[in-house]
Amino acid sequence: MSERRRVAIVGLGVVSCAGTGLEAFWQGLNSAPPEGERRVHDFDPLPFYDNPKEARRADRSQQMATASATMAMEDAGDLTSDPARCGVIYATGVGGLQTFEEQVIVHDRKGARRVSPFMVPMIMPNAPGAAISMRFGLQGPNETITTACAASTHAIGYATRLIQMGYADVIVSGGAESVMSPVGTAGFQNMTALSSSGRSMPFDKDRDGFMMTEGSATLILEEMESAMARGVHIYGEVLGSGSTADAHHITAPAPGGDGALRCMQLAIEDAGLSSNDIASINAHGTSTPLNDAAEAEALSKLFGDNGPPVTSTKGITGHGLGAAGAIEATAVLLTFIHKQIPPTSGFTTPDPEMAEFNLVTGSPQDWEPGPSMSNSFGFGGHNGSIVLAPIE
């Protein structure tokens, strides 16, 4: 087998309640959390479409994907690769739920003939990836990952492998989610996944569920030699990834965080590193009792009490479900630029029953960037981890 190719990250775009665009997003991660619901209240899709009609024919999740992908492609500069060697590996947890819910109401109140002929292409989980492919003329592999809250981390990992193995030269990857509709919110609320206090408190003793959010993040991955030859800014590289299944329960994590532990170990091994090489971790850290406890135990088993600094940016952003991994990978890459790790907002009281690890709290922590891990663990027992590193 020939030596696998290196994979650079050359473009980033983000739509988030913490801020849209890289500068606003970074400032948001180091500020107080948004008040109330973690919606992207100021999002306007129209600047990212040729006309209002085109925007109306896209679900809000697709609009957000198009926005972040447009930002990322502009950031990446003039890609010179053959379009047949450029693909899209995108992710979502649910798909166009808001459109589906709206059209069910239309059917109920106005009859079948009034249901939109655009409903099906608007609700398809693969709609964001398809839209990105068509918008930028990318003719390579175009696939959608739907592994719940691990989806966009899995997408980045899979996209990386396609480039490493020579099946593509450029991949647009990331994730989008917008399911804060009445039925979607009620479903999560009634399964007691959402915070009853209206606060995101990752790893805190009083954590009581996650704050759901919407948003999108897109990363442009390019074969390293090509990126260097173009002289484009390189945010970092993807060194490796891991994927495992708990095979335990549809929503609860495996006891002791065993699935998460194996996933992190696989990602580190795939990166050609040891656990001692990991310099920081962006935890899944949803603020739910079981998931935070399981991830804490996995982190403690792998890294010990005095391991690398760990943060959960969900204290600010809330939980973006299928988009979370891409949003958090973007946060990791920004820590390389700013040489700071944002604190875990919402954390005030340690949990005496939780395994110990090195959590960043209170204020940003200065650091010398090094290989970093981002974790995403989803309903269904899906686990995903990726290792990102700054360019030496």
**291: number of CA atoms within 13 Å, CB side?**
30
Contact 136, 172 (CB under 8 A): yes
263 is catalytic: no
Say what angle helices 127-136 and 60-76 make with each other, to 10 degrees.
40
Backbone angles phi, psi at 168, to 5 degrees: -155, 160
Q: Which two tokens stand for residue 193?
A: 């996944």
249 is catalytic: no
149 is catalytic: yes
Q: What residue spans of the chain are helical by DSSP H?
A: 22-29, 52-56, 60-76, 97-110, 119-123, 127-136, 151-164, 182-190, 224-230, 258-270, 289-303, 314-317, 324-338
Q: Which of 17, 149, 154, 263 is catalytic?
A: 149
DSSP state of 58: S
| Residue linked to tokens 């999108």 | 216
Alpha-carbon distance of 45 to 80, in angstroms, equals: 28
Complete DSSP assignment for 250-302 = SSSPPGGGHHHHHHHHHHHHHTT--GGG--EEE----S-HHHHHHHHHHHHHH
Backbone angles phi, psi at 292, to 5 degrees: -65, -40
Q: Which of 17, 154, 263, 284 is catalytic?
A: 284
Q: Which of 86, 154, 263, 319 is catalytic?
A: 319
Residues with catalytic roles: 149, 284, 319
